Structure 1
């Protein structure tokens, strides 16, 4: 059998868990009484909102930085690390780098909300606002890598990043080994791909369901085209799901193709209702990308009756004005 192009294995996920201990935390998997009653199923919420940076991204960033130090020594990162981000990955890189005394530069498009920018700056990282899309921000990253010798910590398209996110899958299988379905937001594919790689290796019959935006779903469009494609990035309540997958994608496209069983696209109205529902019934403040699993259940009527289903609440980086906009959409 040929080696998978993505090179993400269960062994690499276990290695990631060892590396990130002490930076990322093991997050709770809790039963939602309200959602379980509503969908006549056991709905479990994976609270990545409880990570020190408020989102799952810390797992991948911490794993990659630690792995690079293991392989090449600390001096290899002397010029600092750099990335482009829609917010959460930048905060994760800034946090992991600061804990190790490594300089970090985070390049962000002007679509990234101000609250996420402030959170990154508070960790001591240099922030550069460049362009109107994540792809444009990556142009600045490439310049800094070329001219200053900085080390790129990509937001998703690397086996080390995906393996770090895959540690969520290990925790799911340990806490709920008979899961029928995991519903995950899909953007660059590191989160879904990593979780799927771990879960499928342990329990192949568990379904991995991806959820994308209705507009600007780069990974889904690329899967349909069977090659990476560029899409127009649009503003969304689920801003963390924006951005392309890279026209030279070398890891996550093949990984997602391998592990994802089905896929749904959700509207802004559905995301708004899901954000508000989670706040009102679970008393959890989540960003739009964290609410898309519930949005898909509600908007598409996914049949989960009698099943055990995990929703990945991926992050809590939501600005109050965004929450106000979601509430206003629910009142229309």
Structure 2
């Protein structure tokens, strides 16, 4: 299969396709992080998206791109929670059946919300790879259309609309800190941002516990990693050994990849709440955490993406009360 990257024209088409279906989320200055980093820092509040994360963008673009016959068949996906929520919402809006397959590592608050949106939920195994096997079965046996959480051009193009919004709102941005998991978000944002401003830096942020894309980039090819419990649960899972899109786009477009400890992620969650008055999940806080830990030292105006706010509130209370430092 010939590699065809997602382009700015694809992302602009996605933006037109999902107009009115997603929110152009605000970008706000962060006084506290500006003082810490020594450069202007802005927060892109994507956790205020309709379903609580950026995933609605890619899911909405993918569903809107389906043919009438494909919509009739229904959609299926493996998810660590947020993609499933976004796809469930997008499918319900279009009157399309949705089946979401998840591992036992997905927090219950995300599972229950997907059920509330009317999707069929299947809990399979202890990893994203286990859940993907059930997706493959449903595609083969029931004819459902797979909408992957990241390695799909329509999904990556939908996520890339964030990159356009960032440079519209902060045209002097020199660095973007973006969550890195399967790579759909990072690849999409980097494709948009670098097409509009070639010298901008896009840095992927992930956790030390099971960072599949970082391991794959280091190896020069997609590799398997053990999926481990982490505060940044939305960043868990592999990138697929047969990855067709996001691995190569991340390899070509990302300027750096930074990994965080669990304690650093917890500190990011606490800072988001205490200083910014924003409640974000672990994955949503990794950009903040990278600045706090001095693992990223930007030289100019920086935009930090807060990607999701679908945190288990019991966990949030535990962390902000200082009990999560050893998580």
CA contact (8 A) 2:73 2:145 kept: yes
TM-score, with length taken from structure 2: 0.96
Q: CA deviation at 1:49?
A: 1.1
15, 22, 36: which is aligned to 2:20?
Answer: 22
Q: CA deviation at 1:331?
A: 8.8
Q: Determine if the alignment matches structure 1 residue 273 to structure 2 residue 267.
A: yes
What residue number does 2:110 align with? 116
- Give the corresponding residue for 1:62: 60
8 Å CA contact retained: 1:6, 1:254: no
- The aligned counterpart of 2:308 is 315
Give the number of equivalent residue pairs.
325
For 2:166, the equivalent position in structure 1 comes to 172
- Measured after TM superposition, the shift of residue 258 of structure 1 is 1.1
Aligned counterparts, 1:69-148, within 5 A:
72=67, 74-148=68-142
The more displaced of 36-45 and 139-148 is 36-45
TM-score by length of 1: 0.95
**Per-residue deviation at 1:123?**
0.4
- Structure 1 stretches lacking a partner, 5+ long: none
| 1:294 Cα deviation from its structure 2 partner | 1.3
How many angstroms does 1:53 deviate by?
A: 0.3
- Matched with 2:154 is 160
Q: State yes or no: 1:45 paired with 2:28.
A: no
Deviations 1:261-306 (A, max 9, x none): 011110000000110010011111000001111111122342225x
Equivalent position of 1:5 in the other structure: 3
- CA contact 2:209–2:229 (8 Å) conserved in 1: no
Q: Give the CA RMSD over aligned residues.
A: 1.5
| Residues 300 and 36 of structure 1: CA distance in aligned 2, closer, same or farther (over 3 Å) | closer
In 2, Cα distance between the equivalents of 1:53 and 1:235? 23
What secondary structure is seen at the aligned counterpart in 1 of 2:50? Answer: coil
* 1:138 alignment partner, SS class: helix
**Cα deviations across residues 26-75 of structure 1 (Å, max 9, x unaligned)?**
0001101121122221110001111110000000010011112xxx3x22
CA distance in 1, matches of 2:154, 2:311: 27
Match of 2:231 among 227, 237, 248: 237
Q: Out of 304, 307, 323, which is 1:328 matched to?
A: 323
**d(CA) in 2 for partners of 1:220, 1:169:** 21
Q: Unaligned regions of 5+ residues in structure 2, if any?
A: none
1:216 counterpart residue number = 210
Determine helix, strand or coil for the equivalent of 1:304. coil
Q: Which deviates more, 252-261 or 32-41?
A: 32-41
Q: 2: CA distance between counterparts of 1:36 and 1:300?
A: 13
Partner of 1:207: 201
Which digits, 9 at most, give the CA deviation of each residue in 1:64-93, with x for residues without a partner? 11112xxx3x22221211000000000000
